[in-house]
Amino acid sequence: MSPILDIRDLRVSLRRGGHLVRDVSLSVDAGEVHGLVGESGAGKTMIAKAVLGILPDAARITGGVVRFRDDDLLQLPPKRLRSLLGREIALIPQDPLTGLNPARRISAQMTDMLRHHLGQSRGDARANALRLLQEVQIRDPEQVLDRYPHELSGGMRQRVLIAIAFSAEPSLIVADEPTTALDVTVQKQILRLIRQMQERHGTAVLFVTHDLGVVAKICHRVTVLHTGQVVEQGGIADIMSARATPFTRALMDATPRYDQPADALHPVPEHIHQELRATARRFDEANP
Amino acid sequence: MTGARLNWRIVVGGGVLLMLALIAITAPLLAPVDPLEQDLFLELLPPWWQADADPTRALGADSLGRDVLSRLIHAARPALIVAFVAGVLTMLLGTALGLLAGYMGGMVDVLISRMVDIWTSFPPVLLAIMLVALIGTGLHSVIIAIVLIDWTRFCRVVRSETLAQTEMEYIDAAVIGGLKRGAILFREVLPNVLPLVIVLLMLEMSIAIIVEAILSFVGLSVSSDSPTWGGMIAEGRQVIHQAWWVMAFPMGLILIAVLALNLLGDGLKTALDPVLRR
Amino acid sequence: MSGSLLLRRLVQAVPTLFGVSVVVFVLVRVVPGNPIAMMLPPGASLEDMERLRQAYGLDGSIPEQFVIWLGQALQGSFGISISLRQDVLELVLGRLPATLELAVFATIMAVTVGVLAATVGVLFRGRWPETLIDAINGFTLAVPDFIWALALILVFGVLLPVLPISGRVDPRLGTEFATGFYLIEALVSARFTVVGDLLAHMIMPAIALALPLAAIITRVLKNSLAEAMAQDYVMIARVKGFSRWRIIWVEALRNASIPALTLTGVQFTFLVGGTVLVEKIFSYPGIGNMAIDAVINRDLPLIQGLILSFAVIFIVVNLLVDLSYGLLNPRLRT
């Protein structure tokens, strides 16, 4: 079975020079949760944005292929890409506060895609939105629909965003650090919710995060990233074991866990950073 | 000012302004003919590119046979005098009141803000006309009218900027350091407000030129003989069907002056921005 | 809710109106030049002058005059115009519709052009259409409305005579109107030739008034739209597969409009103030046209009435702007 998302040698560079993503390859199978892990600035968000076609103006794609099913997303004409997005590919953003339009009701933001892309009537779309809100375990979905984002809590807003992502039954969801902006107690619930929905709908998820602890909870396979390069790739069991590379093991040690005191943290040793940065520099010299 | 850079807008805008100032200063030397001299044989003479033009009257003549070019040159004087004097005076009054309102707060602020509200309920043009009708015609009245009407422009901006500044820590530091309020106002707040004020001054000067033109258009500026751009426009309006250029040239010059000032203001804004954003 | 806001604003308006009345009253009566003397024939006696002064309420000290005037004003009587010999309220109300139609038409034009220009500018951010719009905008901002008025007359009235350069409607059409709102009446009664003629007369003064406002709207709206488009919810909307054009209209505009709206409210007052000159230049029969003559003739009661009407217009417009905030920003509603 061919993977649903197949990224080959993706290269993202800044317009003014310098690379952010250095020939990264990864693949996601149907129904798989694939973790994309790294520290801040490792390039994971750039990869996610490149897949979705929403790179910031200052960056551009300078090489590689992003295959979604049979299409190379990077070569698609804009109209075709727009029809794919939303229906087949969706996004769960990092910040539920800014991810919802403060000036529009929840119902509008949940039903607009259903009505526009899937041609549903207003009544049908609203019924579907209600069903989805129930699925993400929101009480009083009728009331929530008629509210504005500022009237909901952060956890509820993130559930709404998750509902929006799953609403058109996409084959792939990109989750960009969906729990980072939430309270620790809420994080676990949201993670569990995402996993449940993903299993129920059979959706593949590209899960971007800096937290290996999170990865351990819900991912099947993992790609570990540093300075825009793939450091390690494999099944969750391998990544989490002693067979992993030094960087990955160091990353695991550096990950805060609430059952460990803070001074038990060991930041990733500098020499590992140096080695990986050196690799990046060699890449840059070979590819100006 | 530290960090300020020269850019093309400052150069072009400032350059044009300088040229206009030079024209105004050297007007009697520069103008080819006496601007008041009437020659009825030259009535409504067309400008140089038309068939029956006179080479000594490059831009043609008006309905009384007066040379348009010479009048244009001489009219630069009242325009620029009003621009500089009214601009600076308005800046001084508005900035002073804005600083007071922003820094003192309380009743002083309420009073000044109410005044600003009332003032801005009047249509500015009408108010200007009323004031000049009140004080009598002449450049001094035009200047006074501009200052009395437009001080609110500076006051509003300076007040809000002062309010923003007074909430910053360096003010607290100064107060703790024992500086008197007046000293704080002058030595700490004012330098930070200054870039904003300078940019606004350019805008104010362009408004002054426009107001002077409007007032002389309506006949309420200097006495009718000595030329003003607005006055020339009014005269040109009368003969617009026979000699459209008599109105067009002074309009063009007002446009140049106003655009130059706006350009200069924009350039200063960009150049002083890093200072502004401190 | 918005009812109490309305009430509060109205209450705040009262001292402002009062202040305006006082200022105008004092200003206008300190004027040198005796309007009464201008009305009478040269050989008039002192008694005649006194009688006339009394008739126009110009006797007694200034505070006395103000109290009398205020009393009458609160009952709806604003005196008789000295230069036109008619009731001030009638005169003002007679001409007000013309100015209102012109101002509203100009504002609609300005908002339409401004919103379109801002939208195009944001869609093509960083490319040549945006630079072009910025350049045109900068130019338009600098030029005052009376220069636009004269330029329009020059180009479309004289050099290429396609439009009428004075008046409100062609007298040869012989039309009858029941109210002062000619355009609205003609539209409602489907008299389309009349509508065409009215528009032909209005379009140049309206453009002259609209251009400065359009330029400001474009600048402010483009900036706030650019900010709104950088928000995360726009990113989500793009991933939902909507086009940027649709996103601007459905998602961004309602968030970006607020600063532009405030400014429009303020600038509308400048626009109405601009009618003073523009109406004169186009001989358009509105209150602005009357104003300059009233001042030159020292027609105190008329000046008072006109300035008060301007002040009322400003206050009403500011009120409308305040109320519309609630519509645009749901957080302000509760």
Residue B32 distance to chain C (closest CA, Å): 27
3-state percent breakdown (helix, strand, coil) of chain C, nearest 5: 75, 0, 20
What ipTM describes this predicted complex?
0.83
Among partner residues C20, C31, C291, which is closest to B134 by beta-carbon distance? C31
Domain C94-294 has CATH 1.10.3720.10: yes
Ramachandran angles phi, psi of A223, nearest 5°: -120, 125
User: What pLDDT is recorded for position B20?
Assistant: 92
Among partner residues A54, A83, A99, which is closest to C238 by beta-carbon distance? A54
How far are the Cα atoms of B201, C166, C186, C282, C331 from residue C171, in angstroms, in the given order?
Answer: 47, 12, 15, 16, 52
pLDDT digits (tens, 9 = 90+) for B17-72: 999 999 999 888 887 878 787 777 777 777 777 777 777 777 888 888 888 888 89
User: What pLDDT is recorded for position B178?
Assistant: 63
Longest CA pairwise span in chain C (Å): 86
pLDDT digits (tens, 9 = 90+) for B221-239: 776 678 899 999 988 888 8
In B239-259, which positions are buried (b, 16+ CB within 10 angstroms) versus exposed (e)? bbeebbbbbbbbbebbbebbb
Among partner residues C233, C240, C331, which is closest to A86 by beta-carbon distance? C240
Instruction: Quote the tokens at residue C39.
Output: 């009305």
User: What pLDDT is recorded for position B81?
Assistant: 92
User: What pLDDT is recorded for position B180?
Assistant: 67
Q: Give B 130-169 residues with CB within 8 A of chain C.
A: 130-131, 133-134, 136
Residue C233 distance to chain A (closest CA, Å): 4
pLDDT digits (tens, 9 = 90+) for A159-178: 999 999 998 889 999 999 88
- Side-chain half-sphere exposure of B124, counting CA atoms within 13 A: 27
User: What pLDDT is recorded for position A258?
Assistant: 60
Chain C CB within 8 Å of residue B117 CB: yes
User: What pLDDT is recorded for position B278?
Assistant: 43
Interface test with C, best of B130, B241, B262 (most C CBs within 10 A): B130
Sketch the domain layout of chain C as residue ranges: 94-294
DSSP, residue by residue, C235-277? HHHHHTT--HHHHIIIIIHHHHHHHHHHHHHHHHHHHHHHHHH
Instruction: Quote the tokens at residue C323.
Output: 């109320």
How far are the Cα atoms of A53, A285, B14 from residue C225, in angstroms, in the given order?
Answer: 21, 40, 32
Chain C CB within 8 Å of residue B242 CB: no
Residues of C in contact with B244 (CB under 8 A): 154, 158-159
How far are the Cα atoms of A120, A239, B126 from residue A168, in angstroms, in the given order?
Answer: 11, 33, 61
pLDDT digits (tens, 9 = 90+) for C85-134: 888 888 888 888 999 999 999 999 999 999 999 999 998 887 888 889 98
Residue B10 distance to chain C (closest CA, Å): 15
Residues of B in contact with C143 (CB under 8 A): 255, 258-259
Among partner residues C233, C239, C250, which is closest to A98 by beta-carbon distance? C233
Chain C CB within 8 Å of residue B237 CB: yes
Q: Residue A178 belongs to what H/E stretch?
A: none
Determine whether A113 is exposed, middle or buried from the number of CB atoms within 10 Å of its CB (0-12, 13-18, 19+).
buried
Q: DSSP H helical segments within A167-269, as ranges?
A: 184-201, 212-218, 236-239, 246-254
Among partner residues C277, C298, C303, which is closest to B214 by beta-carbon distance? C277
Q: How many residues are recorded in chain C?
A: 334
Strand partners, A173: A90, A205
Contact C166, C202 (CB under 8 A): no
At position C39, the amino acid (one-letter code) is M
Q: Which of the other chains make 3 or more beta carbon contacts under 8 angstroms with chain B?
A: C
How far apart CA B25 and CA B77 sit, in angstroms, is: 7
Flag whether A touches B (3+ CB pairs, 8 A cutoff). no
Instruction: Quote the tokens at residue B125.
Output: 């043009």
A104 and C254 in contact by Cβ < 8 A? yes
User: What pLDDT is recorded for position B127?
Assistant: 80
Minimal-distance CA residue of chain C relative to B258: C142
> Mean pLDDT for each 10-residue chunk of chain A (288 residues)?
88 87 91 90 88 86 90 88 87 88 90 87 91 90 90 89 91 90 84 90 92 86 89 86 78 69 69 83 82
Chain B CB within 8 Å of residue C16 CB: yes
Can you tell me whether residue A91 is helix, strand or coil? Answer: strand
> For the whole prediction, is pTM greater than 0.90?
no
Residue B258 distance to chain C (closest CA, Å): 7
Chain B CB within 8 Å of residue C269 CB: yes
User: What pLDDT is recorded for position C115?
Assistant: 93
How far apart CA B98 and CA B158 sit, in angstroms, is: 5
Residue A275 distance to chain C (closest CA, Å): 35
Minimal-distance CA residue of chain A relative to C229: A101
Residues of C in contact with B259 (CB under 8 A): 139, 142-143
Q: Which of the other chains make 3 or more beta carbon contacts under 8 angstroms with chain C?
A: A, B
Interface test with C, best of A88, A101, A164 (most C CBs within 10 A): A101
Average pLDDT, chain B: 83
How far apart CA A181 and CA A93 sit, in angstroms, is: 10
Which residues, 6 or more positions from A5, have their beta carbon under 8 angstroms from its beta carbon?
A: A27, A28, A51, A66, A67, A68, A172, A204, A206
User: What band does B1 get if pLDDT is binned at 50, 70 and 90?
Assistant: very low
User: What pLDDT is recorded for position C16?
Assistant: 74
C126 and A86 in contact by Cβ < 8 A? no
Among partner residues C233, C241, C243, which is closest to A117 by beta-carbon distance? C241
Instruction: Quote the tokens at residue C274.
Output: 């601009």
Q: Which residues in chain C come in under a pLDDT of 70? A: 1-3, 5, 27-44, 53-62, 326-328, 331-334
User: What pLDDT is recorded for position B91?
Assistant: 93
Chain A CB within 8 Å of residue C223 CB: no
Among partner residues C139, C159, C273, which is closest to B123 by beta-carbon distance? C273
How far apart CA B213 and CA B247 sit, in angstroms, is: 12
User: What pLDDT is recorded for position B55?
Assistant: 74
Which of C270, C293, C134 minimizes the C-alpha distance to B120?
Answer: C270
Instruction: Quote the tokens at residue A287.
Output: 């590819």
B121 and C147 in contact by Cβ < 8 A? no
Instruction: Quote the tokens at residue C86.
Output: 């008619």
